[in-house]
Structure 1
Amino acid sequence: MRGGNFAQARQMLQDHLLLSPNDADALSILAEIAANQRSTEEATILLRRALAADPSVNRRLALVFHLQKSAPAHALAEIEQLPQSVRNDFEVQAVESGIAGALGMHDRQIALYKSMLRDQPGNPGVWVSLGNALKTVGRTNDAIKALQKAIRADPAHGDAWWTLANFKSFKFLPADIGRMQAALRSRPGEDHALHIHFALGKAFEDRREFEQSFRHYAAGNAIRARTFSPDQVEVTDFVDESLKTITPEFFERHAGSGHTDGSPIFVVGLHRSGSTLIEQILASHPLIEGTTELPVMRSIRDRLSRSSGLSAVEAIAAVSPSEMRAIGEEYIDRTRPFRQTDRPYFVDKMPSNWMNLALIRAALPNAHVIDARRHPMACGFSNFKQNYATGLGFSYDLRWIGAFYRDYWRFMQHFEQVQPGVVCRMINEQLIEQPEAEVRRMIDHLGLPFDPACLEFHKTDRAIRTPSAEQVRRPINRAGVDVWRDYEPWLGGLKQALGPALDHWAD
């Protein structure tokens, strides 16, 4: 394994397990190889076998660490079987709190962070995590206090400064700007530096010093962009292949073969396109539950590609009609742990699901799709100035953003041609100008009765984990619609990369 010869290591372990099928160490090492090769399901099976052979705390923790992203509900079930003394461990609490947040158990998450801070009151990272959790449930003042405690613990903790900047209503004082500039002069690590640059970009934007603001946004993006390669940020090949492969004949072949459940409502598009506003409006309807950005369909698509050795598009095209129903059922089963109510419909607001629309349409033909769209310059610059916690590759360079938007636009144009009328397109600017008419149109597309609560979405009390959390807790307004125009002198690369999408984005 250390030499990189995973094939030989795998064969040796499999030969050994033929003689000793309950060797927990061998099973765990084989699981590690499977995980490194992105065979998530195989790794899970192997780790469960290892745990059955050796039901020790360490084996169970290994399974928890493996499951925390791919199957958080199962990971939480394993945590709950650990002795309380182990669950009280700082690192285990950190994992449990993250899982609780992913499953929407925010009160539990907040309680865990507070417990961790009793052990380590000077830990800035935990204060930031607590601040984010408090922000998610709408406790803005408490969240700001937590973040300020993080900064007092470490004035160069970039994530604390950036999370404060993410509160659109929070304004930095001149003294705050001076402290951030001093922190940059102290040469913190690149991760702290890029977060501080993004925070300074917001600080100078609020002061209407746009050139200075743009320089900091650009500096933060440049640091992050160095961590991505071109193949991680472009989807041109994917879209080109989709245009050739996802045809009317593809859908004719799968007609009547998918799972009939019509409860999912997919909200797709680019980040910062108004999708959180749409989700909040929908979640205000008494028949619809808002969940979060669910990575389930992407996980299924990646597994199909990995197991077949084909590209994502080829793998979807190769799925047989008999398998499509099982894929639809799997999606419904895997999203159930994220549901908190018994409402008959739920929103999956994963923006990148636009790339999974062929699979969604074939596997879940009764599901609904809403395309959240915004002017490409407004959407593009909004992405550029937003530093995403997990890294959104295309968003760290203006040309990358323009190319990504152009490819998304090309794909959605094609999908409308091969599946006309399936997608309800919601233009953010139109929604802001004509909220009642546009909301009624969207609800009508879903085949549901209109409810006045949808127009009072800002009164709906629910957890929101996206950067737009504050905005959607206020009535619809034009704040932010034309911010990009203040930065237009520096956005030439974005304009050029958009190509025809710049003029025809709303067609």
Structure 2
Amino acid sequence: MTTQIKMTEPQMLQQLLKQGFEHLNQGQIREAADCCQRAIHIKPDLVPAHFLVGLVALEGQDRKTAFQAFNSVTTLQKNHPAAWAQIAKLCMSDGQINLADNALKQALKYPNKDPMVHDLLGTVLSKMGEHKNARKCFQEAVTLQPNHPPYMLNYANNLIYQGELEESESVLEDIIRIQPNSPQAHWSFSGAQKATNTKHIETMQSLVSEKNIHPRSLPFYFYAMGKEYEDLQEWDKAFESFSKGAKARRETVEFDEAHEVATFKHIEDTFTKEWFEQDQKGHSSDAPIFVLGQPRTGTTLVERIITSHSQVHSAGELQQFGLAIRRLSNHQDPRRFSPQLFTEALKLDPQKIGGLYLQTTEKLSGGKPRFVDKLPQNYLMIPLILKALPNAKIVHLTRNPMDACFASYKQLFADAYLHSYDQAEMARHHARYRHLMDVWRERFPGQFFDISYEATTSDLEPNARALIDFLELPWEDTCLHFHEQKTAVSTASSIQVREPAHTRSIGRWKHYEQQLSTMMSTLHEQGVPIDN
């Protein structure tokens, strides 16, 4: 007869927490959550159990539960920097800048040697546009836990944003040496340098051929190979890689085209001249400058020209305008845009929208008189921006339809532009966008400034001068030397805009004319002239 040793309560709790973290690391969400519940049932004020609940909820994409759990941690133990850092990240993702800032201050108040906390703080600071402070946090995380690829990758990407390309390449090479199958590191490495041979491509081809490779890893490798083949001007191989990358990405994300069609139609039907002429005053501030359009059409280039001016700060790609509408209307639909969102916007006081937008962007405006919000998708918000911020300036980028569509098709995006991974979907989306911009020009003449990517790169000075004149700023010659800026660039164009304006990307789609026949024919069917 064997004697079973009964565990003490502390031993039982320790075992449950250990099992919970093990389940979480293995992706077993339900099992991890069960361990949390059992531990909290035994000891309701057990701080590590509440923290684990937050981590499990994050893994399960249950942001509400995660937020509640981390708040429980800080209620039970105020000096818990890891929980404060998680709260800061969640608040920042929701556009709640002030709450994020308060949580950030709490996290920084208490000394800690946890690399995860420093990495989290770096992420939050990056989203706030404080890239130099973010670098210190990422660097501290790497120092506290050397040779840890996730922390190293965040550090490397920060270096890329700040133009420190040689150092970033070195860190990325170290990541690949430590963890050869690191898809995001390979992808970032490809973007940070110009390929001169096929050595790195061959390494990635070998990794792609492995049996158990995760489907979400494939797009990183294929897009990286496509970029390097393009560097080598091996056009057929480049397109084959981009096409495989798009196919792999399309298999891991969903694009609801019918929903987008309905949303665009609703926007067009809703924001009429009659609506615009209603006697509702917006906020009087002239600080914001919105640079918008399709991605990969020169929005970053134009932003850099504008922010080279001494009176203008780059605030990055901000979600704050749309979030102001959500917060004022308490709109809950997780989709970024929907007919209901714009219906709710109609009920709001434009001045309150503008005021909340300015309040939530205050810490991102750099202390200068003007700032640039460079979220491309704000073209959907043009009528609301004009109403809520009548003195703001709006700059819209135009680009040849085929170059614009192909530039998006060959780019791997994070969680936006889900239409870009299929040629026909990409072309139909572009047609919807162009139609909407034509509607805005007809309804709101002279209310925004169209600037051509091709004209600006071909003849910079007259176009830059016209742009600065539209913004009602005095001319400064520094606007012609935008590539000399040392400020961070957190977009896919971070490498290109650190060199003078060039025309290499104009007409690049013609290298792939045969392979892009579906895109061309779809644009033609939609009435979009491809030579425009």
TM-score (normalised: structure 1): 0.85
| Contact residue 304 and residue 315 of structure 1 kept, 8 A | no
1:283 aligns with 307
User: Which of 174, 182, 185 is matched with 2:198 structurally?
Assistant: 174
Shift of 1:52: 5.6
CA, structure 1 residues 85+40, in 2 after alignment: closer, same or farther (shift >3 Å)? closer
Aligned length: 480
Shift of 1:99: 0.6
CA, structure 1 residues 228+175, in 2 after alignment: closer, same or farther (shift >3 Å)? closer
Q: Kindly report which structure 2 residues correspond to 1:80-91, keeping only aligned pairs within 5 A, or say none.
A: 80-82=105-107, 87-91=112-116
1:395 aligns with 420
Amino acid at match of 2:457: I
SS at match of 1:307: coil
Deviates more, 1:435-444 or 1:84-93: 84-93
Q: Quick one: distance in 2 between partners of 1:483 and 1:492?
A: 15
After superposition, the C-alpha distances for 1:435-493 in whole angstroms (9 at most, x for unaligned) are 11111111121122222111111122211111112221211111221221111111122
User: Which of 373, 384, 389 is matched with 1:348 structurally?
Assistant: 373
CA, structure 1 residues 500+275, in 2 after alignment: closer, same or farther (shift >3 Å)? farther
Which 5+ residue runs of structure 2 have no aligned equivalent?
1-46
| Contact residue 155 and residue 179 of structure 1 kept, 8 A | no
Say which structure, 1 or 2, has more relative contact order (CA 8 Å, 6+ apart).
1
CA, structure 1 residues 137+184, in 2 after alignment: closer, same or farther (shift >3 Å)? same
Amino acid at match of 1:291: A
Question: RMSD in angstroms over aligned alpha carbons?
Answer: 3.5
User: Which of 236, 252, 268 is matched with 2:292 structurally?
Assistant: 268
Shift of 1:60: 4.2
Q: Quick one: distance in 2 between partners of 1:466 and 1:101?
A: 12
CA, structure 1 residues 399+44, in 2 after alignment: closer, same or farther (shift >3 Å)? same
SS at match of 1:271: coil
2:471 aligns with 446
Q: Quick one: distance in 2 between partners of 1:402 and 1:244?
A: 22
After superposition, the C-alpha distances for 1:5-50 in whole angstroms (9 at most, x for unaligned) are xxxxxxxxxxxxxxxxxxx9xx99xx99x999x9999997998699
CA, structure 1 residues 52+409, in 2 after alignment: closer, same or farther (shift >3 Å)? same
Shift of 1:65: 4.6
| Contact residue 232 and residue 393 of structure 1 kept, 8 A | no
1:496 aligns with 521
| Contact residue 257 and residue 321 of structure 1 kept, 8 A | no
After superposition, the C-alpha distances for 1:191-226 in whole angstroms (9 at most, x for unaligned) are 222211111112222222222211111111111112
User: Which of 236, 240, 255 is matched with 1:215 structurally?
Assistant: 240
Shift of 1:352: 0.4
1:336 aligns with 362
Q: Quick one: distance in 2 between partners of 1:118 and 1:413?
A: 53
Shift of 1:83: 7.6
2:445 is equivalent to residue 413 of structure 1: no
1:19 aligns with none
Amino acid at match of 1:180: M
| Contact residue 381 and residue 484 of structure 1 kept, 8 A | yes
Deviates more, 1:443-452 or 1:378-387: 443-452
SS at match of 1:381: helix
CA, structure 1 residues 329+125, in 2 after alignment: closer, same or farther (shift >3 Å)? same
Q: Quick one: distance in 1 between partners of 2:246 and 2:507?
A: 21
CA, structure 1 residues 281+78, in 2 after alignment: closer, same or farther (shift >3 Å)? same
2:351 aligns with 325
2:448 is equivalent to residue 423 of structure 1: yes
Amino acid at match of 1:242: I
User: Which of 222, 231, 234 is matched with 2:256 structurally?
Assistant: 231
Deviates more, 1:225-234 or 1:258-267: 225-234
Q: Quick one: distance in 1 between partners of 2:72 and 2:285?
A: 33
| Contact residue 246 and residue 317 of structure 1 kept, 8 A | no
Deviates more, 1:88-97 or 1:226-235: 226-235
Shift of 1:426: 0.7
Q: Quick one: distance in 1 between partners of 2:364 and 2:389?
A: 18
Amino acid at match of 1:444: D
Q: Quick one: distance in 1 between partners of 2:108 and 2:368?
A: 35
2:132 is equivalent to residue 107 of structure 1: yes
2:87 is equivalent to residue 63 of structure 1: yes
2:190 aligns with 165
Shift of 1:291: 1.6
2:99 aligns with 74
Q: Percent identity?
A: 24
Q: Kindly report which structure 2 residues correspond to 1:118-197, keeping only aligned pairs within 5 A, or say none.
A: 118-167=143-192, 169-187=193-211, 188-197=213-222
Shift of 1:124: 2.2
After superposition, the C-alpha distances for 1:156-204 in whole angstroms (9 at most, x for unaligned) are 211111112213x521533222211111122422222221111111222
Q: Quick one: distance in 2 between partners of 1:311 and 1:108?
A: 32
SS at match of 2:313: strand
TM-score (normalised: structure 2): 0.81
| Contact residue 234 and residue 403 of structure 1 kept, 8 A | no
After superposition, the C-alpha distances for 1:87-126 in whole angstroms (9 at most, x for unaligned) are 4323222211101111222222222222222333222222
Deviates more, 1:304-313 or 1:38-47: 38-47
After superposition, the C-alpha distances for 1:384-417 in whole angstroms (9 at most, x for unaligned) are 1111234531221112211111111111110111
